[in-house]
Structure 1
Amino acid sequence: MLELRNLSKEYPGGRRVLNGLSYTLGAGEYVAVMGESGVGKSTLLNLIAGLDAPDSGDILIDGVNVATLNDDAATRFRREKLGFIFQAFHILPHLSLEKNVALPLLLNGLPMGRATELLDAVGLHGRAQDFPRQLSGGELQRVAIARALVHRPRLILADEPTGNLDPDTAHEVLQLLRNEIKSNGASAILVTHSHAAAATADRILILSKQGLHPAEDKAG
């Protein structure tokens, strides 16, 4: 489903965060990626999503090398195939919650009804016509999760999706995330500092300067 081949990324000033990283994620696999701050976890997700470009290497999703797509093609591919849960939410303030969640459906020409269903699933029943300014940070995170899942993407990328949630809500949202991944046969990569969040994945990987490698055990 996803294949990373010799992926490298260096930032201005010579700081290299990824150096020849290779990894294959199978269809339907759900992995958590942990590691020290600054090691390149969010950068890795941005590269996979085509939001940033590697210095070298290939990123293949369903056989398509996203590293070689131009901006328009990358946008179309991302819109159809990917669901991305950002740390910073990226909720559009002038749209209702329902319209924010429905945006991937609208862009892909899909029926809009699932937007309300997903809002209900993340604990925002009856809030479809509210606006982002009326929500707390934790509620905005739930909207972002609903939006990432609504069009049943092939690959879900989640960057600290429970960072703004209380433990009970985090548990509910992680269960929803896992259920959606498994019921739709999607693949997913969860970047997190939370061992509780990582434990919901099938496997935990550690990102370091040596690349991606399995954690010794699920307890971390």
Structure 2
Amino acid sequence: MPANKAQAKTPSLECRSLSKRYGANRTVIDRLDLKLAAGEFVAIMGDSGVGKSTLLNLIAGLDRADSGDVLIDGTPISTLDDDAATRLRRQKLGFVFQAFHVLPHLTLAQNVALPLLLNGIAPQRAHDMLMAVGLEGRDNDMPRQLSGGELQRVAIARALVHRPTLILADEPTGNLDPDTAHEVLALLREETRANGAATMMVTHSEAAAAFADRVLVLSDGKLHHAEISHALRPSHE
């Protein structure tokens, strides 16, 4: 073995001194630093209005920081024009939302295949992803035939189907009952690791955050480490 250390892997996500202000006197994100590694599942908590959605929008390139930068797979998004930023979102990001955003006029397979089609990739992997999330044989079903938990499984399959670098999940279990939420979060964590994606989940729920590898609280524009009660941790951990 050579004496020098192997070069560290590039983080899937890195925020460097990220800041965002609204008006002259309201700093929402203040010189925030964050790194997420491939396969890591991180929960972001915080009071309503503290800036969690702003942070997601900055990471997704939907909003511009006043200073600092976001790097996705080592690419600083501040250097990209609008077209390049759109391509990066299509190729590198996957999104899971509280409201599912499954298109009602498309079959499950067609919904899951959308990121593949947008990236010019053949849609066959959609079938495999539906199987992976427990919806084998449901390719031609319509969204109206599914429960809320099943719809969220479709959303997870769609977010992961193009093998993104980073998953952004915004309150993904907010519309689900506790038992279904438990199943969906276990699936999201399992698929995150299996696909080598990093996942950032914004949630108000400590029970949901307990599925994460790390829990951070956004307060005063910065992220702080938090501990979740051991009683809330999934029973197998």
Q: TM-score normalised to the size of structure 1?
A: 0.88
The offset of 1:154, in angstroms, is 1.2
Q: 1:165 is matched with which residue?
A: 176
SS state at 1:95 partner: coil
1:137 is displaced (CA, Å) by: 4.8
What is the distance in 2 between the residues matched to 1:189 and 1:29? 8
Q: Is 2:32 the partner of 1:56?
A: no
For residues 86 and 68 of structure 1, do their structure 2 counterparts lie closer, same or farther at Cα, with a shift above 3 Å needed?
Answer: farther
Matching residue within 110, 121, 146 for 1:110: 121
Given that 1:10 and 1:18 are in contact with CA atoms closer than 8 Å, whether structure 2 keeps it comes out as yes
Q: Give yes or no for the alignment of 1:214 onto 2:199.
A: no
Distance 1:122 1:22 in 2: 33
- Please say if 1:180 is aligned against 2:213: no
Q: CA deviation at 1:132?
A: 3.6
Provide the identity percentage. Answer: 70
- The equivalent of 1:156 in structure 2 is 167
Residues 15 and 32, structure 2, Cα contact 8 Å, conserved in 1: yes
Q: Retained in 2: the 8 A contact 1:204–1:214? A: yes
Contact 2:39 2:194 (C-alpha < 8 Å) held by counterparts? no
The alignment yields a C-alpha RMSD, in angstroms, of 2.3
Q: Which moved more, 1:157-166 or 1:121-130?
A: 121-130
Q: State the alpha-carbon separation in 2 of the partners of residues 178 and 128 from structure 1.
A: 23
Q: What is the distance in 2 between the residues matched to 1:103 and 1:209?
A: 38
**2:52 counterpart of 1:41:** yes
Structure 1 pair 202–119 and aligned structure 2 pair: CA distance change class (3 A):
same
For the 8 Å contact 1:41–1:207, the answer to whether it is kept is yes
Which among 102, 105, 108 is matched to residue 94 of structure 1? 105
Q: Is the 8 A contact 1:121 1:176 kept in 2?
A: no
State whether structure 2 residue 5 is matched by structure 1 residue 6: no
How much does 1:16 deviate?
A: 3.0
1:78-102, Cα deviation, whole Å (9 max, x unpaired): 1111111123333333322211111
Decide which structure has the larger Cα Rg and report it: 2
2:31 to 13, 20, 23: 20
Q: 1:150 and 1:19, CA in 2 relative to 1: closer, same or farther beyond 3 A?
A: same
Q: Which of 127, 144, 151 is the matching residue for 2:155?
A: 144
Q: 2:210·2:228 contact (CA, 8 Å) conserved in 1?
A: no
- Return the alpha-carbon distance in structure 2 between the equivalents of residues 11 and 96 of structure 1: 41
Counterpart check, 1:74 vs 2:103: no
Distance 2:109 2:24 in 1: 43
Cα distance between partner residues in 2 of 1:123 and 1:162: 17
Q: Distance in 2 between matches of 1:16 and 1:43?
A: 11
Please give the secondary structure, in 1, of the residue aligned with 2:185.
helix
- Whole-angstrom distance in 1 between the partners of 2:151 and 2:195: 24
Native 8 Å contact 2:95 2:169 kept in 1:
yes
Provide, for residues 187-213 of structure 1, a one-character-per-residue CA deviation record: whole Å limited to 9, x for no partner: 111111111211111111111115001
Consecutive unaligned residues of structure 2, counting only runs of 5 or more, are 1-10, 233-237
C-alpha displacement at 1:160, in angstroms? 0.7
